[in-house]
Amino acid sequence: MSILVVGSVAFDTLSAPSGHRDRVLGGAATHFALAASFFTPVRVVGVVGKDFGPRQQSVFDEKKIDTAGIEHADGLSFHWTGSYEGTMAEAKTLGTDLNVFGSFSPKIPASYADSDYLFLANIDPVLQLQVRRQMPNVKLVAGDTMNYWINDHRENLLKVLAELDILIINDGEARLLSGEHNLVTAAKKVMELGPKSLVIKHGEYGATAFFSERSFTGSDGVPTPFRAPALPIETVVDPTGAGDSFAGGFYGYIASQPKLTPAVLRKALFYGGVMGSFAVEKFGTERLQNTTREEIEERFQLFRAISHLDIEAS
Ligand code: AMP
């Protein structure tokens, strides 16, 4: 089952205690697509500029990601500059140059019309909504956002949230969106805005999913939480794209399954964690480009092992 993703395709300039990189390939849709491509076919809608050349294109081609929906415009690609300090828990945005995204109006290629799964990756909620409206018959819609849109574009964002099946955000964003510090209260309030399921990421500590009967059958129910840990890993070089890679693994796995069930959602949370753990090991997209399906399964089994409580064992 194909996923259609709309979001930023970017160049990132990154500084971290581990080093500095100028203009590496990045963007929310890029990281998402790479991670999801290990599970299911992915199609991308976005825009790039003249600086996006064969080298960047080959990253998508190698993973057989369909880029017919990436428009090539005059001007420069979206460019994000960010830095990390200390524990690298949070990115500090030093610059957001929208460039060609500033005047982008997404058009869905006819060949994308049969996509069953839609992912609205981090980008202006106005663009997310334009794509949502052009894909009224998808089976499932999930999405992401960030502080910038929550703070300054809330009204548009609320329209997107009202149409989501699954929202995937981090804990800081959940608190900002709801105005609540307590995670359970925050989750309830966010879900009242529309999403039938909510995944809250906790960076290096894993993720919590809130879901109820409503997530699967549409009937009412009180959301219950399910927590998946993150694998403690030794090498953290660059956290950029970890959240998008988590979302790619999570949603890619869901799209590869015949039906969304509680068990599928739980397993998806683990696959999200696996893909996030790879993303941080190298700068930019490098680690995901070189990951294999075998490595993914190996890490999935490791995740299971570290979170399994065997009460019979001494
Ligand atoms: P994350 O998974 O949250 O670390 O996402 C990082 C990616 O988001 C980077 O590759 C950036 O290019 C992209 N990004 C940063 N700011 C924005 C923004 N305002 N809109 C869309 N994408 C962004």
Q: Which residues have C-beta atoms less than 6 Å from ligand 1?
A: 8, 10, 12, 26-28, 31, 80, 96, 122-123, 148, 240-244
> Which residue is closest in CA terms to ligand 1's atom 1?
241
> Which residue is closest in CA terms to ligand 1's atom 3?
243
| Tokens, residue 12 | 């990132």
Q: What pTM value is reported for the model?
A: 0.96
> Which residue is closest in CA terms to ligand 1's atom 12?
27
**Does 83 map to a domain?**
yes
Percentage of the chain modeled with pLDDT above 70: 98
**Does 49 map to a domain?**
yes
Question: Which residue's entry shows tokens 């080959």?
Answer: 58
294 CB-near residues (< 8 Å, 6+ apart):
none
**Does 313 map to a domain?**
no
Residues 165 and 142 sit within 8 Å (Cβ to Cβ): yes
Q: Residue 314: pLDDT band by 50, 70, 90 thresholds? A: low
> Which residue is closest in CA terms to ligand 1's atom 20?
123
Give pLDDT, residue 258. 95
- What is the tens place of the pLDDT at every residue in 74-132? 999 999 999 999 888 888 999 999 999 999 999 999 999 999 999 999 999 999 999 99
Nearest atom in ligand 1 to 30's CA: 10
**Does 127 map to a domain?**
yes
> Which residue is closest in CA terms to ligand 1's atom 18?
123
Tell me how far the alpha carbon of residue 250 lies from the centroid of ligand 1, in angstroms: 18
Tell me how far the alpha carbon of residue 8 lies from the centroid of ligand 1, in angstroms: 7
Tell me how far the alpha carbon of residue 305 lies from the centroid of ligand 1, in angstroms: 32
**How many whole angstroms separate alpha carbon 273 and alpha carbon 194?**
25
Tell me how far the alpha carbon of residue 219 lies from the centroid of ligand 1, in angstroms: 35
**Does 314 map to a domain?**
no
Nearest atom in ligand 1 to 78's CA: 12
Q: Which of 122, 130, 107 is nearest to 201 (CA)?
A: 122
**Does 312 map to a domain?**
no
**Does 233 map to a domain?**
yes
- What is the tens place of the pLDDT at every residue in 3-56? 999 999 999 999 999 999 999 999 999 999 999 999 999 999 999 999 999 999
Nearest atom in ligand 1 to 124's CA: 20
Give pLDDT, residue 218. 65
Q: Based on the structure, what is the number of domains in the chain?
A: 1
Nearest atom in ligand 1 to 284's CA: 10
The residue type of 149 is: W
**Does 255 map to a domain?**
yes
Tell me how far the alpha carbon of residue 120 lies from the centroid of ligand 1, in angstroms: 13
Give pLDDT, residue 138. 97
Residue 67: domain span: 3-307
| Tokens, residue 271 | 């696959």
Could you tell which of 122, 126, 152, 153 is best to mutate to test the pocket of ligand 1, judged by most ligand atoms within 8 Å of the CB?
122
Report the CATH number that the domain containing residue 298 is assigned in CATH.
Answer: 3.40.1190.20
| Tokens, residue 216 | 């699967």
Residue 276 has pLDDT above 70, yes or no: yes
Q: What is the 3-state secondary structure (H, E, C) of 143-180?
A: ECCCHHHHHHCHHHHHHHHCCCCEEEEEHHHHHHHHCC
**How many whole angstroms separate alpha carbon 108 and alpha carbon 177?**
29
Q: Residue 230: pLDDT band by 50, 70, 90 thresholds? A: confident
Could you tell which of 32, 146, 199 is best to mutate to test the pocket of ligand 1, judged by most ligand atoms within 8 Å of the CB?
146
